[in-house]
Amino acid sequence: MDLNLTPEETQFRDELRSWLAAHTPKDWEHRRDASVEGHFAFLRQWQRRLYDGGWAGISWPREYGGRGASLMQQVIFWQEMASAAAPPMANIIGLGMVGPTIIAFGTEAQKTRFLKGILSADEIWCQGFSEPNAGSDLAALQSDARLDGAHYVVNGQKVWTSFGWAADWCELVVRTDPTAPKHKGLTVMLVDMKSPGVEVRPLRQMTGEAEFTEVFFRDVRVPAENVVGQVNQGWDVSIGTLMHERGTLGAAMQVTYQRNIERLIELSRSMQRDGRPASEDPVIRQKLAQCYAEVQIMRANQMRAFSRISATGVPGPEGSIQKIFWSELNQRLQQVAQELLGPYGQLEGADPHAIDHGAWSYGYLRARGNTIEAGTSEIQRNIIGHFVLGLPRSY
Amino acid sequence: MQFALNDSQVILRDSAREFFAGECPMAFVRRAAETTTAYDLQLWAKLAAQGYTGIIFDEAHGGVGLGIVELVLLMEEAGRALLPGPLFATVAMAGAVLDACAGPAQKHKHLAPIAHGDARSTLAYVEPNSGWNRAALQLTATNGRLWGEKLFVPDAGVANTIVVIGRDGVYVVDAKAPGVSIAPMAGMDPTRRLYTVSLTDVAAETLAAPDGLERGLSIATTALAAEMVGGMQRTLDMTVEYAKTRKQFGKPIGAFQAVQHQCADMYLETESARSAAYYAAVTLQERAADAPAAVSIAKLYASDASRTVGNRGIQIHGGMGFTWENDLHLYYRRAKASETMLGDATFHRERLARLVVDAGAGTAPAQEARC
């Protein structure tokens, strides 16, 4: 165990740090008043800048546009992004899930064709997994694909598709063998969202935005060479993607949480409570300290997980604890924010009394989805119970 | 940067696990718990022969010269085995404070007998109204003589020396010195006995570098958090095993999500407590700027999580978990006693608040380039 940076890591960090100091946009978090699309365009531009600077895909192979560095340098990257208060990157699904899946399962042609576009944000990705009747029971999905010459013809409906409205491409899971047992007849394919027959409908969520979409596929023709991994072995590919999702989404979240807890601490000094700064209120101090501690523990958990992945090469089912940890922590953190801000916590951006342009009322509502998206807390606990602890299957 | 155990650390952990499994099975723990001191002379000699009593002390003082991470791994395994007796008090409390606060000659004088297994020691801190708040301590030295009363002193009944924390000094007294009166307290953990230590005009040696106390206590606190992780792991293992074998409604109870999800939470809490304890150990080893925060984070999380894990474990065991015969209550008792020792979760949250809320705007100790 050694938290000291190697000379190579130190050089990497110093280089990155000075690059971020020169290039990180300021006051970007107050851009929430802009539309979702406007904000996304801003993040996309930011990712492009990172890419041009050589900072996207730290641990991805060099020949596909990555930096070819270690996973630990990837971790340092997130830390430095947090320290610099840098905005996140736009192509979250592509960077966190689709890219690693293509690297692990894709053909040479797929790697060459798609990876650079993910890093540069030239091509935004979504993932087509959940369906109206296949949520937690993902393997029950019904979207089907039939081979017709050199193409698959896809019909079906996906739901909760994040970034569907912005996506150029979709990592889609479909049923290619309806006669096989449900886990055995699935295939993963890469689908051009501009193909005829793809229809995206916004899905308005409780925050008022439409981050998610429903995506309909009607006789959509997908070239057979766009299949990732083996036909009818899509379940293994999907699980690979989801394990990346559980592991890597958390790493990006850590950046945000560190900022948020620091901001809450700052606010506690200026918010008055019983005639003194809230930061002097013993109950508020306890709650801020607990949140601060949990954010650091989330980071320590991730560092252990990343060290394990760099040794074994793949994320394991224990990534489910990262997913539970970050999602439930965010809900606790947002509630502490509400307690600190009192009645101001409910104010949305348009109100002149709103704090941080309404970021806390938005954050509170948005956090409610965290324990549902990317696999519910219940499903994560099933995974830990069965695959990590070896308990019998519960379903 | 690598946040994983290196090969020699894995070997140390595995050999400690094997050692404790052989020398300290539950039958032994229960026998020790029946005695008034929970101390076994033969086991102590074996601990010394393994080098465990000198694990973190310099080789010049007869120690093994290993680091805080190694201490933490040893204590984790000791906690898993519910090791009874004064290893923790001697090495991780008194030893760590001596190592941090003693002058060179004092170190050799006090650490060598500990490392060789010839002496046991402990730390006397808490006073009737002080808790773990140093500023509330009353005890001071007058012309090198100590007066005062200390409470909740672990394993004082078998200690040769006692490291005494005063308001403005750190002292060592001989446990047999005139004026020292040691009496048992009836704590709920029979594997780590607590005592009152009354000092009436006792001759004391003043340690040369009392500013080291913060570091010594930080090492002790992190070692305790690790010991708690070991107890949590054992509770989890016993519970998962039980959930796989106990059948109701025709199937193992572990197949029911109400049970399975509690096990998953136990796993999450145990792993998170482990991450926090290891991180604190590394920051102490490297004397990193965020070590004080990391130590409090490790202890506050372990204090809450070890209680929760114990509750879940006993709940899943049902009536069996509530029996004297089942070993879980021994871990449950240790967890409760350790929860308050060296400061409970509330104490450490307040300590952390002083570090991160009262510090300058946006100053986050964990930020400083530490990954």
Mean local confidence (pLDDT), A192-211 = 94
What distance in Å separates residue B91's CA from the closest CA in chain A? 22
pTM (two decimals): 0.94
Q: Are the C-beta atoms of residues A230 and A303 closer than 8 Å to each other?
A: no
pLDDT digits (tens, 9 = 90+) for A213-235: 999 999 999 999 999 999 999 99
Q: CATH assignment of B122-210, given 3.40.50.970, 2.40.110.10, 3.40.50.10420, 1.10.10.10?
A: 2.40.110.10
Q: What is the pLDDT of residues B80-136, one digit of tens each?
A: 999 999 999 999 999 999 999 999 999 999 999 999 999 999 999 999 999 999 999
Residue A33: which pLDDT band, with cuts at 50, 70 and 90? low
What CATH class is the domain B212-367?
mainly alpha
Read off the pLDDT of residues A358-372 as tens digits, 9 standing for 90 and up: 999 999 999 999 999
Residue A252 clears pLDDT 80, i.e. is over it: no
Beta-carbon contacts of A270 under 8 Å, excluding residues fewer than 6 positions away, are A277
Q: Which amino acid is residue A382, in one-letter code?
A: N
Torsion of CA B128, B129, B132, B134, to 10 degrees: -110
On the question of pLDDT at B273 being above 60, the answer is: yes
Q: Name the percent of chain B lying above pLDDT 70.
A: 97
The Cα–Cα gap between A253 and A121 comes to 19
**E strand map for A15-150:** 125-128, 144-148
| Domains, in order of start, for chain A | 7-120 (1.10.540.10), 125-232 (2.40.110.10), 236-388 (1.20.140.10)
Rounded average pLDDT over A13-17 = 97
CA of A383 vs chain B CAs: smallest distance (Å): 9
Q: Are A381 and B356 in contact (CB < 8 Å)?
A: no
What does the pLDDT average to over B130-149?
95
| Residues near A342 by beta carbon (within 8 Å), at least 6 away in sequence | A271
Q: Return the pLDDT at B365.
A: 36
Given this chain, do its domains B7-120 and B122-210 carry the same CATH topology? no
Mean pLDDT across chain B, nearest whole number?
95
Per-residue tokens: A256: 């945000």
CA distance A202 to A330: 25
| pLDDT for A82 | 79
Q: Is B187:B194 a contact under the CB 8 Å cutoff? A: yes
B362 falls in which pLDDT band (50, 70, 90)? Answer: very low
The pair of structure tokens assigned to B16 is 């400690």
CA distance A357 to A263: 13
Residue B289 has pLDDT above 90, yes or no: yes
What is the interface pTM, i.e. ipTM, of the complex? Answer: 0.95
The pLDDT tens digits of the residues spanning B189-239 come to: 999 999 999 999 999 999 999 999 999 999 999 999 999 999 999 999 999
- Pick from A285, A384, A391: CB nearest B350: A285
Q: What percent of chain A has pLDDT over 70?
A: 98
Q: Cβ–Cβ of A82/B367 closer than 8 Å?
A: yes
Contacts of B293 in chain A (CB under 8 A): 296
Measured between beta carbons, the chain A residues lying within 8 angstroms of B3 are 1, 3, 300, 303-304, 306-307
The model's confidence at residue A32, banded by pLDDT at 50, 70 and 90, is low
pLDDT value, residue B11: 98
Summarize the confidence of residues B60-82 as an average pLDDT: 98
Q: What is the largest CA-CA distance in chain A?
A: 76
Domain extents for chain B?
A: 7-120, 122-210, 212-367
Looking at residue A247, its pLDDT comes to: 65
Q: Which fold has domain B7-120?
A: Butyryl-Coa Dehydrogenase, subunit A; domain 1 (1.10.540)
Average pLDDT along chain A: 92
